[in-house]
Amino acid sequence: MMILYGISNCDTVRKARKYLESAGHNFQLHDFRKDGLTTQSIQSWLTYTDYSNLINKRSTSWKQLSDDEKLAIENKDLDLLTQYPTLIKRPVLQLDQTVLIGFKLEEYQKL
């Protein structure tokens, strides 16, 4: 089952949804804000991608963190990521043993 993780009103998530729909893919949208996020989900992504690819240090959420919180997140505090899911680059597309971070048309087309 293809799962698209993100925030439904995020422009990048909308682009990914539009592409997947136009390509005829069935997928489930998992909204971080509405549906929450677990450390188990993040841990499963980390099996297929690097932690540094997952964190969006350009986000408003990142800029609002204290230095201690930033350090904790850089040291892989997954509990803080579940508290602040907007720190995760969006969208995250998970399909079997593939995890794509962000929306890059070329990568989506390869699916």
Q: What is the pTM of this model?
A: 0.91
CATH code assigned at 69? 3.40.30.10
Residues forming the active site:
10
State the residue range of the domain holding 67: 2-110
- Residue 82, pLDDT > 90, answer yes
**Considering the chain, what percentage of its residues have pLDDT values greater than 70?**
100
CA dist 25 to 21, 95, 109, Å? Answer: 6, 11, 11
pLDDT tens, residue by residue, 21-74: 999 999 999 999 899 999 999 999 999 999 999 999 999 999 999 999 999 999
Specify whether the backbone of 94 is left (phi greater than 0), alpha (psi in -120 to 50) or beta.
Answer: beta
DSSP 102: S
Structural domains in the chain (count): 1
Residue 92 phi, psi dihedral angles, 5° rounding: -115, 120
